Amino acid sequence: MRKFATTILLLTCVFSLKAQTSVSFQHLGNATFQNNLINPSLIPEGKFFLGLPVLSGLHVNMNNKFSYNEGFTVESDRTLIDVPKIIGNLQNQNTVTAKAGINLLHVGYKLKSGALLSFVANERVEADFLYPKEVVEYVFTDGNNEFLNQDVKISKVGLIAQHFREFGLGIAAPINEQLTVGLRGKFLVGFANASLAGNTTAILNSNGEAFQIDAEWENATLRTSGFDIYDETEGDLGSHLVMNGNTGLALDIGGTYKLNRYYTLTGSIVDLGYINWKENIKSYTLNDTSFNYSGVNLEELDNIQQTLEDSLFSKFETTDTFEPYRSWLPVTAYGSWIYHYSPKTDIYVTVGSRWIQRQFKMMYGGGVTQKFGKAFTGSISVTKLPQQFFNAGAAFAVKGGPVQMYMAVDHLINFSIPDAKAIDFRFGISFAFQGRQEQATSGLSRTPIAGAKGLDTNVFLGKKVKTKKRDGIYSIIKKQKRRELKNKRTKAKDDVQKKSLNGRTGKKNTKGGE
């Protein structure tokens, strides 16, 4: 328990990762099959889609309130922790999140109706830790002089960290010319989990010169599953990672609604689900307790773990239980307003949110997506992520025959490893095979109007023509030859006149022969 709690606190203070970006990737619209994973209503162009393990999708994300250089200094061969500087960079409420995902397989097939049937399998590792600034101030302030003889309430502390695999069956179908909906049901298999039962609250009181602390806890139960199996002290790790009793269900939903030829609304909610943890369960509940504590004095990064265990976690008293439990996935939602400036240019405004243990984490973005022919789509975005200032991102998808490659990166400006505060990276290579008569039924760009003549259809008076350029709502074509138009009545009259003339001519010839 002490070792695990130390690891969690170290992640909080040292790495502070956060996963909630992918704005630039979101702005690619339906350019790739992988975009269907964040909005199940998006139907990519193509007939058959195939993604191979690992190569078809990699996702790594991090976000930090402060960079490595803002929290640590190097003197000679030692790495020193600058606790006051770290505390100075924190907000009142902070979130630590790490996220990585691998696409194991995806298969998609588009029906004649335009509906997309799909199967996906993904490996996911995610961790979210929510904490107020007071936690770090109280733990790492030497002597706790700032909190002497007063009650300190620490609330909104949450944790969920897990490794799981998902298998999903989905369908995206156009309901009519304006509305497309998508739905994906997922079966989950969990491998490891650590989570708090709810938002943990603590009331701490430091009394007298001896710094005796009275601690009262609420919802302070840390539930774990699978860690002994990973340490190989219990069970078989190989069989555990294939299939086990930790299972659950989840649902992804999405919608795309075309207001008109110029405006489209899209929205999605993913990971509405849970996992029931039944194997290798160990839960630790903190008991109300009193102990002497004079703070943690940190200097070097090398001895931080032992220092925390000796100075802090050894003083906690816990009650251990082994009951199965259920954990809920953090829910992610996206919504976009799209203005179709031209058939190849879209302007996006996006809002996203992640619901983590009863707390919302918001992000915002805007960008431009441009199509260059049929082979290349690119986007440039400006994003506002939680705990960050405005920054930029970019994404592209390129096709060469059936092979398609995409890459998306958020938080590009002033990026370097020691100074990095956030980054979101996606990359993948997969296959998209076109059908004989591929028709865009759910594209987010300004698409042809079914049954229309002329505008955006390259058809003029029933014949195909080449469009030289477009000017607003007008299509500029080459000058066409004048054609004679005759209605049915005129044509019938001409036929009667011809027959009458032929009849008279025949009579004259007959008389002449006599």
Reduced 3-state DSSP string for 304-322? HHHHHHHHCHHHCCEEEEC
Residue with the two structure tokens 């007939």: 47
Whole-number pLDDT of residue 98: 82
H or E element at residue 512: helix 488-513
> What gap in Å lies between CA 38 and CA 234, rounded to an integer?
37
CA dihedral (189, 191, 194, 196) in degrees, to 10, reads 20
* Short-list 395, 348, 343, 402, CA closest to 375: 402
Task: Please count the other Cβ atoms lying within 10 Å of the Cβ belonging to residue 424.
Answer: 25
> What gap in Å lies between CA 505 and CA 280, rounded to an integer?
107
Q: Please give the DSSP secondary-structure letter assigned to residue 148.
A: B
> What gap in Å lies between CA 94 and CA 65, rounded to an integer?
8
Pairing of strands 151-174, 200-207: antiparallel
H or E element at residue 510: helix 488-513
Whole-number pLDDT of residue 223: 93
Whole-number pLDDT of residue 197: 78
> What gap in Å lies between CA 260 and CA 46, rounded to an integer?
24
Residue 95: alpha-carbon gap to chain centroid: 17
Which residues are registered as beta bridge partners of 121? Answer: 105, 167
Whole-number pLDDT of residue 178: 93
* Short-list 336, 162, 160, 333, CA closest to 251: 333
Task: Give the CA distances from residue 469 to residues 69, 261, 339, in Å, rounded to whole numbers and listed in that order.
Answer: 53, 18, 20
Q: Please give the DSSP secondary-structure letter assigned to residue 159.
A: E
Whole-number pLDDT of residue 251: 98
Task: Please count the other Cβ atoms lying within 10 Å of the Cβ belonging to residue 45.
Answer: 21
- Digits of tens for pLDDT over the chain (514 positions)? 444 444 444 443 433 333 345 788 999 999 999 999 999 999 999 999 999 999 999 998 887 777 777 777 777 777 777 778 888 888 888 877 788 999 999 999 999 999 999 999 999 999 888 888 888 887 776 545 666 667 777 777 888 899 999 999 999 999 999 999 999 999 999 999 999 877 677 777 766 555 566 667 777 888 999 999 998 888 899 999 999 999 999 999 999 999 998 999 999 999 999 999 999 999 988 776 665 555 555 555 555 555 555 555 556 677 889 999 999 998 999 999 999 999 999 999 999 888 877 777 788 899 999 999 889 999 999 988 767 778 888 999 999 999 999 999 987 776 677 777 777 899 999 999 987 655 444 456 665 444 444 444 566 666 777 776 666 566 777 777 776 655 555 555 566 565 555 555 555 444 444 4
Task: Give the CA distances from residue 407 to residues 31, 60, 120, 122, 378, in Å, rounded to whole numbers and listed in that order.
Answer: 12, 12, 19, 18, 10
> What gap in Å lies between CA 367 and CA 381, rounded to an integer?
4
**What's the pTM?**
0.77
Which residues are registered as beta bridge partners of 193? Answer: 162, 225
> What gap in Å lies between CA 1 and CA 278, rounded to an integer?
19
Q: Please give the DSSP secondary-structure letter assigned to residue 451.
A: T
* Short-list 119, 126, 136, 81, CA closest to 101: 126
Whole-number pLDDT of residue 232: 85
* Short-list 146, 130, 143, 145, CA closest to 90: 130
H or E element at residue 7: helix 2-10
Q: Please give the DSSP secondary-structure letter assigned to residue 245.
A: S
* Cβ-based burial of 181 (10 A; exposed 0-12, middle 13-18, buried ≥19): middle
> What gap in Å lies between CA 470 and CA 149, rounded to an integer?
75
Whole-number pLDDT of residue 148: 67
Rg (CA), the chain: 32
